[in-house]
Structure 1
Amino acid sequence: MLSVTSVKNNSSSPRFTLKTSGIALWSPLLLVIKMPLYCVYFSLSVSIRHSQSSFRLLFCRHVGQRCLWTRLSPSLSMRHVVPMGTAAKEEMAQFCDKNTQSNRPMSPHITIYKWSLPMLMSIAHRGTGVAMSAGVSLFGLAALILPEQFPYYLAFVKSLSLGPALIYSAKFALAFPLTYHTWNGIRHLMWDMGKGFKIPQIYQSGVLVLVLTLLSSAGLAAM
């Protein structure tokens, strides 16, 4: 319900006021007033977010260009490197001159070390691993490329009438990498558990691996 009343004040003209019942009148008025404000606020928030995202993209692009330019330009990348002091330069020069005069190698290499059993077995372990990987790969490649099946080529080898010594040696050479890598791998597993690191134990386990390798290779070659 809407009613108009006049209220007298100190001035000569009356002041009219509106009286409403409930929110029947104020709800449409507030909606009309607030809608433009909401639209302005939404537009400002969208523009601010768009400006922030554009600024972030420009900032990331600028940083990426600077990093790429620093990588591609040695002069810029070396610009912030602290120069070496005079004392360090002199000490390095003296060290190089001393090595040159004494005819010593700049870096240790295999020719200056005294060969030992652990060194030989370590190299052999890696060599047998590479040999087995290459052998398996070549065998698989041959099975894919060659036209006949495996029994055909086995019969062809038997038809060559090779001597037993040659056949035994070939079988021993094939069995040796497998057995050596297996036994020495077990030795490495023992080392992984923290056992056998003393110098005498290292030599004893190395000899044991060699003996087991020779026996198992000989047994497989005799089959």
Structure 2
Amino acid sequence: MSAQRALHLTLRRAAAPGLTKFSPAGRFMQQRLVATEHAPESSAEKILVKQRLQRPVSPHLSIYQPQITWYASSLNRITGVMLSGGLYVFGLAYLAAPALGWHLETPSLVAAFGSLPLAAKVAAKMTIAFPFTFHSLNGVRHLIWDLGVGYATKTVIRTGWTVVGLSVLSSLYLALV
């Protein structure tokens, strides 16, 4: 806290009861007596725990109305983790496959995927396509924001729902083709 801010707060508190001293500017200043005592470490920890229990709990997210920006931000992070995590897991599995006797070469994967029922194929494609499309489209949205465009509340809401809709439609298209 800057010295000016501290002085300002001190002068504002000058109107509070319990004023006993004059400041250099001729105003009353609040005097607070400090009481200290030595406490062993074990009792100091108990005092600290008791004080923490008496602190008010922040309402956090429970008092706010959910908005598309929350959902889009959370989903962007989740899809990013899914994409990067999937890449790492498959990359490590591909590297370990010869030593473990797994068959992760392309013909084996194509044959295994081709033997699945149609519903399982569409579900697998959707599971892979949606994170790619959403993360890509939302990334474009963020790049547009980096240009300083589209910060109006209505624009943010409209582009958020547009990204969700286009992601669902494009991932459906990719899953059905």
TM over 0.5: yes
Q: 1:157 is matched with which residue: 84, 96, 113?
A: 113
Residue in 1 aligned with 2:71?
120
Residue in 2 aligned with 1:41?
none
Gaps of 5+ in 2: 1-30, 36-50
Residue in 1 aligned with 2:167?
213
Gaps of 5+ in 1: 1-84, 90-96
Residue in 1 aligned with 2:27?
none
Residue in 2 aligned with 1:86?
32
Q: How many angstroms apart in 2 are the aligned matches of 1:142 and 1:154?
A: 17
- For the aligned residues, what is the CA RMSD? 2.6
Give the C-alpha shift of residue 214 in structure 1: 1.1
Residues 1-223 of structure 1 mapped to structure 2, 5 A cutoff: 86=32, 100=54, 104-105=56-57, 107=58, 109-147=60-98, 148=103, 149-159=105-115, 162-223=116-177
Give 2:140's aligned amino acid. Answer: I
Q: How many angstroms apart in 2 are the aligned matches of 1:200 and 1:137?
A: 38
Give the C-alpha shift of residue 212 in structure 1: 1.1
Q: How many angstroms apart in 2 are the aligned matches of 1:184 and 1:116?
A: 16
Give the C-alpha shift of residue 110 in structure 1: 3.0
Contact 2:133 2:167 in 1 (8 A): yes
Contact 2:113 2:121 in 1 (8 A): no
Contact 2:76 2:135 in 1 (8 A): yes
1:163–1:198: structure 2 CA closer, same or farther, 3 Å change rule? Answer: same
Give 2:110's aligned amino acid. Answer: L
Q: How many angstroms apart in 2 are the aligned matches of 1:87 and 1:212?
A: 64
Which structure is richer in relative contact order (CA contacts within 8 A, separation 6 or more)? 2
Q: How many residues align?
A: 126
Tell me the secondary structure at the aligned position of residue 86 of structure 1.
Answer: coil
Percent identical residues? 37
The structure number with the bigger radius of gyration is 1
Tell me the secondary structure at the aligned position of residue 126 of structure 2.
Answer: helix
Q: TM-score, normalised by structure 1?
A: 0.51
Q: How many angstroms apart in 2 are the aligned matches of 1:175 and 1:121?
A: 17
Give 1:128's aligned amino acid. Answer: T
Q: Tell which deviates more after alignment, 143-152 or 189-198.
A: 143-152
Q: Tell which deviates more after alignment, 210-219 or 177-186.
A: 210-219
Give 2:118's aligned amino acid. Answer: P
